[in-house]
Copies of this chain bind each other. A is one copy, B any other.
Amino acid sequence: MNYEDIRQTAYDTNMQLPKLGLVLFTFGNVSAADRQAGVFAIKPSGVPYEELSPEKMVIVDFDGKIVEGSLRPSSDTNTHAVLYKYWEKIGGIVHTHSTYATAWAQSHRDIPIFGTTHADHLTVDVPCAPPMNDAMIEGDYEYQTGFQIMDCFKEKGLSYEEVEMVLVGNHAPFTWGKTAEKAVYNSAVLEAVAQMALLTEQINPQAPRLKDSLIKKHFERKHGPNSYYGQ
């Protein structure tokens, strides 16, 4: 079996999604990239999690062409491909329809940074990319979804290395990271942050965003040269 490592990683991380309560049925997918080989392994489309195996993962290159595998890859494969192609330090990507993050995406709103749980992971509101125009939707939809995400980051001046998550308006979240494991972790964090932000606005519709000093402090505790979180 070729590409054994990323097959195994893609399998393991896909299996994390139902355990973390992030997917119903097959509403999600994880991919894991091998940057040397210029390919990624991704979940086959519509196959229930309990029937997955490393062998069933599909190997695809960064232009979305199938390299190896007898099953059809996730219908979102081209979104993964385009993000791998242009964002060169990503090693894993996750797409889910997790409940709270998807509700924010359907609301067309960025998730405000209300607390340190959020600031531990990113220093800005979670961006929500607007829905595409009709020409993009009717064209190569999944490919354009990737460009829509990148355009949103350009417009807002965000770095994909610092902000590893996005909501696609009317659709659902995508997250990524240096590894597929980190991308899955980010999906679970996003869902928790999305739920807390909704509850915060319900308790206090005038709840203030986190102030800059706290955003800086918490982010730097976990990230950057002087971080002191973890081992």
Q: Is A1 among interface residues, defined by CB-CB distance under 8 A?
A: no
Nearest CB of chain B from residue A43's CB, rounded to whole Å: 12
Q: Which of A32-40, A60-68, A84-92, A206-214 contacts B (4 or more CB under 8 A)?
A: A206-214
Chain B residues contacting A99 (CB-CB under 8 Å) are 192, 195-196, 199
Q: Is A107 among interface residues, defined by CB-CB distance under 8 A?
A: yes
- Supposing A75-B228, A131-B211, A229-B75 touch, asked if A199 and B100 sit within 8 A by C-beta, the answer is yes
- Supposing A99-B196, A203-B198 touch, asked if A105 and B109 sit within 8 A by C-beta, the answer is no
Cβ A204 vs Cβ B25 within 8 A: no
Q: Is A155 among interface residues, defined by CB-CB distance under 8 A?
A: no
Cβ B25 vs Cβ A217 within 8 A: no
How long is the Cα–Cα vector from A189 to B75 in the complex, in angstroms? 19
**This chain's copy number in the assembly:** 4
- Supposing A107-B204, A199-B99 touch, asked if A217 and B75 sit within 8 A by C-beta, the answer is no
Bitwise interface map of A from 189 to 202 toward B, beta carbon under 8 Å scored 1, else 0:
10010011111111
Chain B residues contacting A104 (CB-CB under 8 Å) are 203
Q: Which residues of A (61-82) have their CB < 8 Å from a CB of B?
A: 71-72, 75
Chain B residues contacting A195 (CB-CB under 8 Å) are 99
Which among B109, B210, B211 is the interface contact of A204 at CB below 8 angstroms? Answer: B109
Bitwise interface map of A from 115 to 138 toward B, beta carbon under 8 Å scored 1, else 0:
111000000000000010010011
Chain B residues contacting A138 (CB-CB under 8 Å) are 213, 217
Nearest residue, chain B, Cβ from A74: B229
Q: Is A171 among interface residues, defined by CB-CB distance under 8 A?
A: yes
- Supposing A137-B214, A196-B106, A213-B134 touch, asked if A115 and B75 sit within 8 A by C-beta, the answer is no
Q: Is A24 among interface residues, defined by CB-CB distance under 8 A?
A: yes
Chain B residues contacting A14 (CB-CB under 8 Å) are none
* Residues of A participating in the B interface, judged by any CB pair closer than 8 Å: 24-25, 27, 44-47, 71-72, 75, 97, 99-100, 102-109, 114-117, 131, 134, 137-138, 141, 170-172, 185, 188-189, 192, 195-204, 207-208, 210-211, 213-214, 217, 221, 228-231
A-B contact pairs, 10 of them (CB 8 A): A46-B229, A72-B228, A97-B192, A103-B202, A103-B203, A105-B115, A106-B197, A115-B171, A137-B217, A170-B210
